[in-house]
Amino acid sequence: MSKHAYVFPGQGSQFSGMGKNLYESNAVAKQLFEDANSILGFNISEIMFGGTDEQLKQTNVTQPAVFLHSVIAFKTLNDAKPDMVAGHSLGEFSALVANNVLNFNDALKLVSIRANAMQKACEINPSTMAAVLALADDKVEEICKQVQDETGEVVVAANYNCPGQLVISGSIKGIEIACERMKAAGAKRALVLPVGGAFHSPLMNPAKEELAAAIEATTFNTPSCPVYQNVVAKAVTDASEIKNNLIAQLTGAVRWTQSVQAMVADGATHFTEVGPGKVLQGLVQKIYKEAIVNGMS
């Protein structure tokens, strides 16, 4: 039997005007945006609907904004009954609202704590990420390990986005050296990304403690369907396991390619991306060409 997966995007898919149509056309959406403004203590809906790209790029704004757009869009779908869910990095929090593990208020508070903790970690350790294109995953991993061993700089594989697209994360110097070596090894491109820091690397350790404490203090319910979590790339239904994986995700890799492959192996044929942009639709199509994909924003 074919199954329907709902997937939720992460940081980087934000745009000015996001969610405005939902706010103006749907009473439930409007109320949730108003609730979010009071939970966060600032007018995030104003920044989402009319803010500059620069304002939207701040981690402490971006993460709650993408989360809100995704979750509110999902909550306005009348017939959404996912057989399975997954989210890319930050999107995992949206996925956990969609399968009833977290309630809206708790998830938004966790996203805000995560965003602020990551922003602080970026300020402690200036660091970055780079996209490596058209080089085998194991070759990318090998070069990261060599650079780390030889220089003592942090460089790790961070986002397995789709075959031939892997994002690495680490110190500025480590990433620069790794990019040169990736190109020499035959990568089509090794491109430093305009991000605030080394997400999904050990350099996020300072943020992990704060997020872990907040997650431990939050109620996680039994999911209504499995979540395919980034760090394990398989179906998870145990609430305490979900907590541990969510904490590990901050410093661990986003195994998106492997997660989609696992969903397909478990029967997924139809993927709906809920939230801003179309990034995940493109990635799913590259991982599994036969997938039926669509978006919901």
Is residue 9 located within the same domain as residue 73?
A: yes
φ, ψ at 90 (rounded to 5°) = -50, -35
User: 157 Cβ partners below 8 Å, 6+ apart?
Assistant: 137, 140, 141, 144, 166, 167, 168, 169, 253
Is residue 9 located within the same domain as residue 156?
A: no
Q: Return the bridge partners of 157, or none.
A: 168
Angle at the Cα of 204 from the Cα atoms of 62 and 254, rounded to 5 degrees: 70
Residue 67's pLDDT is 98
Domain boundary among 155, 174, 192: 192
Residue 197 lies in a domain: no
Contact 78, 244 (CB under 8 A): no
Residue 200 annotated to the active site: yes
DSSP 48-110: HHH--HHHHHSHHHHHHHHHHHHHHHHHT-SS---SEEEESTTHHHHHHHHTTSS-HHHHHHH
Selecting among 45, 69, 94, 200, the annotated active-site residue is: 200
Q: Is 149 exposed, middle or buried (0-12, 13-18, 19+ CB in 10 A)?
A: exposed
Percent helix / strand / coil, the chain, rounded to 5: 50, 20, 30
User: pLDDT per residue over 257-285, tens digit each?
Assistant: 999 999 999 999 999 999 999 999 999 99
**CATH code assigned at 166:** 3.30.70.250
Residue 256's pLDDT is 98
Is residue 34 located within the same domain as residue 164?
A: no
Letter for the amino acid at 89? S
Residue 89 annotated to the active site: yes
Is residue 212 located within the same domain as residue 98?
A: yes
Residue 269 is inside which H or E element, if any? strand 268-274
Residue 224 lies in a domain: yes
Domain count within the chain: 2
pLDDT at residue 159 is higher than 90: yes
User: pLDDT per residue over 163-217, tens digit each?
Assistant: 999 999 999 999 999 999 999 999 999 999 988 899 999 999 999 999 999 999 9
Percent residues over pLDDT 90 in the chain? 90
User: pLDDT per residue over 123-140, tens digit each?
Assistant: 888 899 999 999 999 999
Residue 207 lies in a domain: yes
Selecting among 45, 70, 89, 94, the annotated active-site residue is: 89
92 vs 154: CA distance, rounded Å = 25
pLDDT at residue 78 is higher than 80: no
